[in-house]
């Protein structure tokens, strides 16, 4: 029996990744490997591509190969998913295209206009779909990420121990999706660690590794200590919420189990801003104290700062960054971003109700580097700040002073790997990225330059079809619009987001040999919508 040909693509197209891809960036996504875990290895031929890691999928011949194309991506990736679907349908009309991820959950009705099947669940929903369409023999017996399909050369491996989050920050896509926190069985975590033996570090990509019952956390820590003590992995790191740092005993237990460090959402050192973000968990302990407490316990601390130009002045953010840079007890922020009103979040609905979103916004502008709203400062001042973010808000001399002070303070406290990780934001300031046209298909004269002002941002060359398309697929290369010319919620989003709690669309899994309801719906639509 011939194997089912499956291509899984994690789509990515924003301003800051570089069209060359980001193979060395930490963290990477394991979405392609997780989705591959839905398929029986002996019955399916799997090919994976991550556009964040490897850059845009340029060899279009690869899209002519699969019988089943699975597309996923973060919130700004919907346009890229549409583009790859149009290419695949043109080159291979018989291909079935499945779309999933955050946008499939928030915009199910819009996505149903473009893709054959829209899944709003996790990888287990894909496994059930495969069993329904092609038979149970093609569904994996145990739905576990195929981490063996990830690049083997990278010293960092990735895993997950839970899904979703037990907090509800106003700007987070997890809040928009409204799904409950779900710890994964310990056997599932062990199976992933077995695939990652020999890695210098295993990083857990959970939204909150610290969530759930404390007995579950202790069991995970014991498992990790078992692997570290046996030398099967060299250390581990995770994403945790700020309440983790409130009790020193948790830091001690984590360090004992082989932890190298954490990423945690500091977002701001201003308590009033944290309250507006509904980051209640961040108010238990001052941000600077959390950072210093973690570093003093022998583990690195990474975090980001989020700036809302409607509520804070540009000068206040620059002063905050300068104060951090002058303090060698703290690591520099790993990133600085605008607050993004992701679709369906409380922040998004609040801005829509206040008519505060700028007119003519596109979904691809929600990347943290485009001004999307009105602001306290003049727009050109905010845009200058955003341009500076692409390089660094700290000059080279300041970064060198900070790095030297951090090294002197923690050189005897942090292990070598953790110390190097703690210094990585300083190194990023000393070696800034070249160019900011990352979402463009080619870097060069034909790539439009950024304005950092959402309504005036030009479309990049990814939006220019590389092959001749049928008329019905040309609309797949039009950007998804968020607001219209008057600043109101765009008409094509009204069905999904016009109400605060949009209706859910049930997903029906077709039986073997049947075409799905989504496929039948696609065939019945006018050509311009297919």
Confidence of residue 286 (pLDDT cuts 50, 70, 90): confident
**pLDDT value of position 277:** 75
List all residues 6 or more positions away from 196 whose beta carbon is below 8 Å from its beta carbon.
147, 157, 159, 202, 233
- Whether 307 is in a domain gets the answer no
pLDDT digits (tens, 9 = 90+) for 331-367: 999 989 999 999 999 999 999 999 999 999 999 999 9
* 269 & 364 share domain: no
| Residue 331 within any structural domain of the chain | no
What is the structure's pLDDT at 431? Answer: 81
Which one has a higher pLDDT value, 154 or 528?
A: 154
From 406, 430, 459, the end of a domain falls on 459
- At 524, the pLDDT band (50, 70, 90 cuts) reads very low
In a domain, 328, yes or no: no
Model confidence at 527, pLDDT cuts 50, 70, 90, reads: very low
- Tens of pLDDT along 202-230? 999 998 999 888 999 999 999 999 999 99
Residue with tokens 């290895």: 41
Q: Is 206 helix (H, G, I), strand (E, B) or coil?
A: coil
Distance CA 247, CA 254 (A): 12
Q: CA nearest 301: which of 330, 338, 340?
A: 330
- C-beta separation of 340 from 460 below 8 A: no
Mean pLDDT of 442-452: 65
pLDDT tens digits for 84-106? 999 999 999 999 999 999 889 99
Q: Which residues lie below 8 Å from residue 389, measured CB to CB, with a gap of 6+?
A: 336, 337, 369
CA distance 182 to 177: 14
Dihedral, CA atoms, 388, 390, 391, 394, nearest 10 degrees?
Answer: 60
In terms of domains, do 434 and 522 share one? no
Residue 14: pLDDT band by 50, 70, 90 thresholds? low
Q: At what angle do helices 186-195 and 214-229 cross, to 10 degrees?
A: 20
pLDDT tens digit sequence for 18-36 = 466 788 888 999 999 999 9
Residues of the domain holding 256: 155-302
* Residue 173 pLDDT > 80: no
Kindly state whether residue 509 falls inside one of the protein's structural domains.
yes
Statement to judge: residues 122 and 22 lie in one domain: yes
Residue 329 is assigned to a structural domain of this protein? no
pLDDT at 278 (0 to 100): 76
Q: How far is CA 119 from the centre of its chain?
A: 18
Choose the final residue of a domain: 254, 280, 302: 302
pLDDT in tens, 101-139: 988 999 999 999 999 999 998 999 999 999 999 999 999
pLDDT tens track for 457-471: 988 888 999 999 999
> Whats the size of the chain, residue-wise?
530
> Phi-psi bin for 267: left (phi > 0), alpha (psi -120 to 50), beta?
left
pLDDT, residue 439, reads 38
Full-model pTM: 0.89
The pair of three-digit structure tokens given for residue 105, joined into one six-digit string: 């959950």
Task: Give the per-residue pLDDT at 471.
Answer: 93
Task: Give the count of beta carbons closer than 10 Å to the beta carbon of residue 120.
Answer: 20
Mean pLDDT of the chain, nearest integer: 87
φ and ψ at 481, to 5 degrees? -95, 145
Q: Give first-to-last CA distance, the chain, whole Å.
A: 32
Peptide bond into 27 cis (omega under 30): yes
> Based on the domain organization, do 408 and 475 belong to the same domain?
no
Domains of the chain: total: 3
The answer to whether residues 53 and 138 belong to one domain is yes
């Amino acid at each position: 029996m011939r194997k089912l040909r499956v291509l899984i693509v994690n789509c990515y197209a924003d301003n800051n990744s570089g069209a060359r891809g980001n193979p060395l960036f930490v963290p990477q996504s394991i979405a392609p490997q997780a989705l591959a875990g839905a398929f029986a290895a002996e019955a399916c031929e799997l090919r994976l591509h991550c556009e964040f890691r490897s850059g845009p999928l340029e060899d279009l011949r690869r899209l002519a190969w699969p019988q089943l194309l699975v597309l996923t991506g973060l919130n700004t990736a919907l346009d890229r998913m549409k583009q790859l679907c149009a290419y695949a349908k043109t080159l291979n009309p018989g291909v079935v295209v499945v779309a999933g991820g955050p946008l499939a959950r928030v915009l199910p009705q819009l996505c149903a206009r473009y893709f054959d099947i829209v899944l709003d669940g996790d990888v287990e929903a894909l496994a059930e779909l495969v069993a329904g369409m092609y038979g149970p023999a093609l569904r994996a017996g145990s739905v576990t990420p195929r981490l063996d399909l990830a690049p083997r050369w990278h010293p960092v491996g990735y895993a997950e121990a839970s899904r979703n989050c037990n907090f509800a920050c106003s700007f987070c896509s997890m809040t928009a999706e409204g799904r409950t926190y779900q710890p994964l069985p310990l056997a599932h975590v062990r199976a992933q660690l077995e695939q990652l033996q020999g890695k210098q570090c295993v990083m857990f990509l959970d939204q909150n590794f610290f969530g759930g019952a404390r007995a579950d956390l202790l069991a995970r820590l014991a498992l990790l200590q078992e692997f570290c003590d046996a030398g099967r992995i060299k250390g581990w790191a995770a994403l945790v919420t700020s309440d983790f740092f409130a009790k020193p005993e948790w830091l001690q237990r984590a360090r004992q189990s082989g932890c190298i460090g954490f990423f945690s959402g500091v977002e701001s050192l201003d308590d009033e801003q944290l309250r507006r973000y509904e980051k209640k968990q961040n108010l238990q302990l001052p941000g600077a104290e959390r950072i210093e407490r973690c570093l003093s316990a022998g583990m690195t601390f990474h975090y980001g700062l989020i700036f809302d130009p409607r509520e804070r002045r540009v000068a206040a953010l620059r002063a905050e960054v300068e104060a951090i840079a002058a303090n060698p007890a703290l690591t520099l922020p790993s990133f600085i971003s605008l607050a993004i009103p992701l679709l369906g979040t409380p922040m998004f609905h609040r801005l829509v109700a206040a008519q505060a979103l700028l007119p003519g916004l596109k979904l691809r502008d929600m990347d943290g580097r485009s001004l999307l709203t009105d602001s306290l400062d003049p727009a050109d001042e905010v845009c200058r700040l955003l341009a500076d973010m692409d390089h660094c808000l700290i000059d080279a001399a300041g970064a060198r002073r900070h790095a030297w002070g951090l090294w002197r303070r923690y050189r005897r406290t942090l292990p070598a790997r953790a110390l190097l990780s703690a210094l990585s934001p300083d190194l990023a300031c000393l070696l800034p990225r070249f160019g900011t046209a990352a979402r463009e298909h080619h870097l060069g004269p034909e790539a439009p330059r950024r304005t950092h002002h959402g309504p005036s941002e030009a479309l990049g060359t990814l939006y220019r079809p590389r092959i001749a398309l049928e008329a019905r697929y040309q609309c797949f290369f039009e950007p998804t619009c968020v607001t219209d010319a008057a600043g109101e919620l765009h008409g094509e989003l009204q069905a999904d987001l016009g109400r605060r709690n949009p209706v859910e669309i049930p997903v029906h899994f077709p039986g073997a040999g049947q075409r799905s309801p989504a496929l039948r719906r696609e065939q019945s639509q006018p050509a311009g919508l297919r």
